A and B are shown apart, each in its own frame.
Chain A
Amino acid sequence: MTTRSRKPRVTFRFMLGTLLAYVIAIIFLLPLLWFIFAPFNDHAVLSASIPASLSLSNFGEVLDSDIAMRGLLINSPIIGIGTMLITTAVAALAAFGLSRSRLPGRQMWTYVLILFSSVVVGTASMVPIFRLIFEIGLINTHIGVILVMVGGMLPSAIFIMQDFVDGVPSSYEEAAMVMGASPLRIFKDITFPLIRPGLMVVGIWVLINAWGAFLTPYLLLRSPDLLPASVTFYRFYDEEGSPQITLIAAYAVLYTLPVLVMYLIINWRYGFRFFGGIKS
């Protein structure tokens, strides 16, 4: 035999493993089952059940809700894409600067920042951030929300990006240096195109996070017509706080779909490569 067979032998243990895998798959699927059926059922209740007849009326009603649609089609994209563009650009510049300028202790600094960003996060830092944004007059603006989210995600984004920047062979940039290119030119012509996969990975990672973010926009935005979908989600509760199940189901699908599609794209094109870089 000259080639090694990649196919494992079908043994009892292998079958058992497969069975276990399917059990796990079902456990992961069960809570989501509801979203597969309820949106298309105009009499949906909290329990997942196959609808008697497929109906799109839930979607019709959701489309009629101005604030919710505004959140989904305008505000969430503005916040998501804005955060993505700024974070990715700033992280790429920083990763390049860190990697190529031999600043002392650069490894340590990224680690400290990662730590810092894990420590100064969530509700703990929201008090001063709320005050800061309030005082500089960016409360109730998209730009305020975007800037806060960029700050929170930047350390991790730099960390992920650095893996890609360090992966560019040094001779590529050295060759350009010898040919007479300036640092900015090298970044633009050589490094930037070569770390495109990294830009995609970081960009989509940021976009998924910003798209789902609830707390920051919830705290910093007041006007209903500025709220992103994560907050307008709660529009579909009646005055007593009970959910309008049918509408929530339909809205949840519309809200989730872009993220899932993005995940499929990134997984198909790049894989979740960035986890290779995380090790102590």
Chain B
Amino acid sequence: MQRGMLSRPVGLLFLAPAIVFIAVFLVYPFFSIFQMSFTNTTLVGVNAVNPQFVGFDNYVALFNADQWMRRGEMGFSLLLTAQFVIGSGLIGQAVLGLFIAVLLHNRRGFTRELVFTLAIAAWIIPDVVVAFAWFAYLAPDGTLNNLLNTLGIAGPDWLFKHPMISIIFFNTWRGAAFSMLLFSSALSSIPPSQLETADVLGASGWQKFRDILLPQLTPYILTDLLLITLWTFNTFTPFLLTGGGPSYQTDVISIFTYRIGLRFFEFGKGSAAAMVVMIINLAIASIYLLVSRSRKVRA
């Protein structure tokens, strides 16, 4: 064994501050949510001081078969979340990001800088600001509809008539930069000689993408999909745009959990919802990990 520069105790000393933070703000909440989800804890009142153990009542309430798929209930929210994640995460961000990265691969200069800077601006501008920007953009008399008017199309009140489509486009716009940066950094690690060889052989653009770029991007695509799925699943920003409405039409799971737990301060039920969310997160992560594992084994 090579002498690590630090002995194990000294190494742990360097790690100690991080361990404390992670224990308190990640591990503790996890177990606390688990424990609270079996109680009827609230913020104020009798149950705040002396919460009762209620077994699976909170879960039963969440999964109540009669109401499950009604508006504002968990099943309905999960369905909306699935639409949102698939639409804005997997299709929107990942595909758009990959498309931009491939389109601008091997390009330098103004065009590339312009697209990258705008996409990254959309990504780093604070939540509340982009939310308002889109509120203005999609308003009945906002920029988008004015633009459509000049083309002779009467635009609807987007956030009222098509709230889910609105937040899908919003979130695609908001997050595409991450996939774009990830893929373009991955592409830049592919030696140009590989594409030049293909050029010499007379391969078409699509063949080059399919046979050379895509196979080497696959591990990055998996990582990208994993992160984007988790992030989109948990993002709270649509709340700033629609508040979950109108009439629960954009009540995705992060907003649902917030509503139950923090707006109504039903900590018990909120924790049960959070628990379900975390289990789904874990399941998503495990599926991706299994897929990437089995790929590695075959490779």
Q: Mark B87-119, 1 if CB is under 8 A from A, else 0.
A: 000000000000010011011100110110011
Residues of A within 8 A of B28 (CB): 128, 132
Residues of A within 8 A of B290 (CB): none
Distance in angstroms between the alpha carbons of A91 and B21 in the assembled complex = 11
B134–chain A nearest beta-carbon distance, Å: 6
A242–chain B nearest beta-carbon distance, Å: 11
Distance in angstroms between the alpha carbons of A30 and B121 in the assembled complex = 12
B26 contacts A279, CB within 8 Å? no
Distance in angstroms between the alpha carbons of A28 and B180 in the assembled complex = 13
B24 contacts A234, CB within 8 Å? no
Distance in angstroms between the alpha carbons of A89 and B18 in the assembled complex = 10
A47 contacts B142, CB within 8 Å? yes
A101 contacts B126, CB within 8 Å? no
Judged by a CB distance under 8 angstroms, whether A154 is at the interface is: yes
Using CB atoms, name the residue of chain B closest to A103.
B11
Distance in angstroms between the alpha carbons of A103 and B15 in the assembled complex = 11
Judged by a CB distance under 8 angstroms, whether B54 is at the interface is: no
Using CB atoms, name the residue of chain B closest to A264.
B117
> Would A278 and B223 be within 8 Å (CB), given that A29-B118, A97-B15, A122-B254 are in contact?
yes
Most buried by B among A154, A177, A211: A154
B120 contacts A150, CB within 8 Å? no
Distance in angstroms between the alpha carbons of A275 and B22 in the assembled complex = 23
Q: Which of A21, A47, A101, A278 is within 8 Å of B8, CB to CB? A: A101
Judged by a CB distance under 8 angstroms, whether A98 is at the interface is: yes
B36 contacts A97, CB within 8 Å? no
Within 8 A of A (CB), among B113-148: 114-115, 118-122, 124-130, 132-137, 139, 141-147
Most buried by A among B4, B12, B219: B4
Residues of B within 8 A of A27 (CB): 173
- Can you give 7 A-B contacts (C-beta < 8 A)? A28-B115, A47-B139, A115-B282, A118-B231, A123-B255, A154-B18, A183-B10
* Given A101-B8, A212-B128, A214-B240, 15 other A-B residues pairs in contact with their CB atoms under 8 A: A20-B103, A24-B115, A25-B118, A48-B143, A94-B17, A100-B4, A103-B15, A116-B22, A118-B230, A124-B234, A128-B36, A132-B24, A154-B18, A214-B127, A280-B220
Residues of B within 8 A of A (CB): 1-2, 4-8, 10-15, 17-19, 21-22, 24-30, 32-33, 36, 100, 103-104, 106-108, 111-112, 114-115, 118-122, 124-130, 132-137, 139, 141-147, 173, 181-182, 185-186, 189, 205, 219-220, 222-223, 226-227, 230-231, 234-236, 240, 254-255, 257-258, 261-262, 267, 270-271, 273-274, 277-278, 281-282, 285, 292
